Chain A
Amino acid sequence: MSGANLYTMTFVPGRNATIEDVAAAAGVSRAAVSKVLRNAYGVSDSMRERVTATMTELDYRPRIAARAMRGRTYTIGIEIPDLGNQFFTRMLTGVMGALAGTIYQVVIAPAEEGSRLGLRAIEALVDRQVDGVVAVSPRVSSEALDRIATQTPVVMFGRHDHSDAYDSIAGDDVAGTRMAMDHLLNLGHTRIAHLTLEEAEEETQSAHGIRLREYRAAMTEAGLADQIVVLRTDEGQDAANSAVRTAIEGGTPITAVFAAHDELAIGALRATAETGRQLSIVGYDDVPIASHPALGLTTVHQPGSEMGLRAIQLLMERLQGRTEAVHEIFTPELRVRTSTRSAPTS
């Protein structure tokens, strides 16, 4: 193809090849290139070969923006409040597995620092015309998601929503909290504190809100309502460490801590190591490091990877036309390790 070679010599590097460049180099009309691109009828095999060979040679890529103008972008957006939380890593592994070998690309938008609201990041994804969104930040209002779902399919991950407009995937936080609390109560603990984030509110459908509510219910049912201690902390191991240390050093007579997630539980373990105070600690999620023998964290396992995979399946069903909302709950399992022991007898 001497035409292509001649053209290559005058091709300006640093500029994306356009459809016109391909047409000129292949010596065919722009309409013919377009037909090949659209996989339309009436294109001869030799024409198809000629055009695709030229596209490869010029590294021509139909622009995503141009494709977006016509419909799909084959992009799935994931909004994540805290990339450092290894439970979300598990979820992303499921997402990536579900899309491996497909044309779909995953893009992740981290929520803005500070606000943790996540709405801006979700809107940024929608602006980039993703074909579907998995929203993970627990504090985005369901009204905002309802509105977004009128344009782009949404799956809310981790919160127990009942929207008619979008789907949701969550763990059974009532059952999970009961498993953790029953385990500690069976070990003879009565002074059990709950370590949770500042923003956890009992009246919401967020995972942490439900865990807090069920903690209180379990204590009350065990006749321990007067022993209820809720320790509040910011996100992160260091903050959780100092919240538990402050409680220990302030003389709060606790023997066990049920933490709202593993990151907080690992901070609580640090507090026990640094103060020498024996406390039984239970986490939630079962992040990969929880099973490390150095930590041996007893925790409530959530099937993060399966949940991520299911979130993608739900988006794909939406893209294929499903309009009715689906809300699925996954069952957790207690993993007992070395961080919990019988309550001291005195």
Chain B
Amino acid sequence: MKERVMSSLSTRPPAYWRPVPAETMASADIALARAEWQETVFDARPNRVALLQLQPSWPLRKLRISVLRNHAVEPVITALRPFLAYAGLAADITLSGYDDSLSAPPQLDADAHIVWLDPSRYAAADQRSAGGALSARLRELRTVLQGPLLLVDASQSLAGASLLNNALHDAASWMPDVFVFPYALLTAPLANAGVETRPSAMGTHVSGGAALLTAQQLGLRWIPALIRPRLKAVIVDLDETIVGGVLSEDGVAGVITSGPYTALREQLLRLHEQGVLLALVTKNDARDVESLFAERADLAQLRGALVALEAGWHDKSASVVRVAERLRIGMDTVLVFDDNPAEVAAMAAALHGPWFVVARTPSISARALELHPGLLSLRDDALAGARSADLVAGEQRDAETRSAAEPLQYLHTLRMEAQLSVGTAGDRARLSELSRKTNQFNTALARLSETDVERYMSSSDRRVVSIRLRDRLSDSGLIGAVFARRDDDTVIVDEIAISCRALGRSIERALLGAALSRIASELGGARVVIPFTPGPRNAPAGAWLSTVAAAPDGGTRYVYADGVDGPSDGQHSPVAVAWEC
């Protein structure tokens, strides 16, 4: 096969590659303009010409992607741009030459790297030694490349696919920021149509149909997931969105819940199991809505998964705000589904933050729930679904605390237990997630990757402490992290991150006191310094710092004094702290 030289596709941008200043376009216009793309980008059988005609009119964030490959991936890359644009991204993509040995990554400091090998090109070689060499090379690449690596696995119909796929999945199982894109699984339904029958002319075994499905998945789900935190909640409308018809007109017995609405609910429940919070906001009489859920058995499971329900005739924007406040999440982590474009425009104009889908049909909504940027979880998280239960418990906790005559005494009755541990490899993904997703109690907003977290686990002059929390109402899981390093005689606390689910229980002082005391003891510094980076929402972290540390420079660098020798209020704290070794 003819070798092709390294190329950068950014040198020939399509017409829509032009920056749009954010201030020139209102949020409502953006929400409605994105909605016009839904049918095309979420199509189960995307059409190349229709895709390439799409031109975004909203601002795009630029990023750099490096592709290390040994075959023609251009059919995918050229279809990627509209999907990325829907996600608000514009990629400068650099391709390697056809590089069987993965010896020349085209861009070491790209925001993300894709490795895509056609195993049949190794068919003449000793497959076992090729598999071993690939594993070794992936280890080397992980050390020299910045940014996450996405390894594309191979269709089982290709010679050598099993060995390649084994090496890729092994790498992703233990290397930080390394993930496998399941090309084989994605294209399996295409059967023979997924395999290009003209590989010599097209330079690849990826068929045109497979290329479009791959571009759709990469652009909408995988690349956004590599570079942005996951969305936390999906808020859905009721009428003509998760049920057919209008409750106030058709009545409890008249709304449609079968057919495509069943698939839509199943998709919502899948997201719930993966840790996405579900809420309902509807302009309906609250009693009618409760009657609907009580009387229609096929809606019972969904009702159980909803962590918030706002029904009434008031403004929907206000309802969405109330839901976000109850869930303690930022508006930019919310995806809203509503069938009414006017309501979407009104909410977008008022809220400036959420993502929106205009729920024109239940099938489009189901596809959007499957494909929308921000909903993919890159790592399996067995405890993700438990976070919804923890949030519900949190509401009970908050309500009981508010109504208690002695709130601190009430907190003691919760029998809170915290388990602290010096971070281990099993916590790596969750610790990175905490750093990237917490906004309220986050001292530095460092947004640490798995690779960064690994450095705190493996270096003798660094430490990371994991904090787990449970009480009589729920097991909150791993809710806190402290990252620190020794610099001369000083321990620098690079970041403290605590999940919003654990806030409001008067436990920060005891937990962080214990963690900082242990870190100071192990690293041996004479003093502990906690830099603080003010952000839009991390005032709670700054407020806590000001109670336990002095800031001689006026608030960006705190010298911690409280409880270096142990938590000062340990005997009064409502939480029992224990170390796991």
Q: Do A and B come from one complex?
A: no
Interface residues of B (CB under 8 A from A): none
Which residues of chain A have a CB within 8 Å of any CB of chain B? none
